[in-house]
Amino acid sequence: MADEATRAAFMEIQASMIELTGKLKQVQNQMRNKEGDRKRAFLTLEELRPLPEETNTYKSIGKFVLEPKTVLEGEQEQKLKDSEAAVASLQTSKEYLEKQVAEVENNLRELLQQEPGIAQQIMSMSM
């Protein structure tokens, strides 16, 4: 009976680890995408700022549309702010998920220390 309970606990911990690892990878990918958006907006602003106000600027929306420089600067500044806020939020989520992963790893370690026989069973199942 205890063996069944230990095996069930292991399966639950394993499922939690798989789920948390997947979520962590997803958050890391989202962070990478938002960092790219932030960098692109920053570089675009760096190129727009030195231009004179009367310069013809174009916005790409499938085709190119003439837009005043101030409008494009405002859009890029907003994209920059939005990306920075998203990255900060995702960083918080990432830290939370990393703590959860560490907690699940500790639970697994404790389970294996309490029931050394389960480690052998796990190894025989994976072969």
Q: Which fold has domain 1-126?
A: Helix Hairpins (1.10.287)
Spell out the domain ranges in the chain: 1-126
> Angle, to 10 degrees, between the axis of helix 116-126 and the axis of helix 69-114?
120
Number of H helices and number of E strands within the chain?
Answer: 3, 2
Tokens describing residue 47 = 């190129």
pLDDT in tens, 14-42: 899 999 999 999 999 999 999 999 999 99
pLDDT in tens, 55-72: 999 998 889 999 999 999
Q: What local confidence, expressed as pLDDT, does residue 127 receive?
A: 52
Rounded CA separation 49/113 (Å): 62
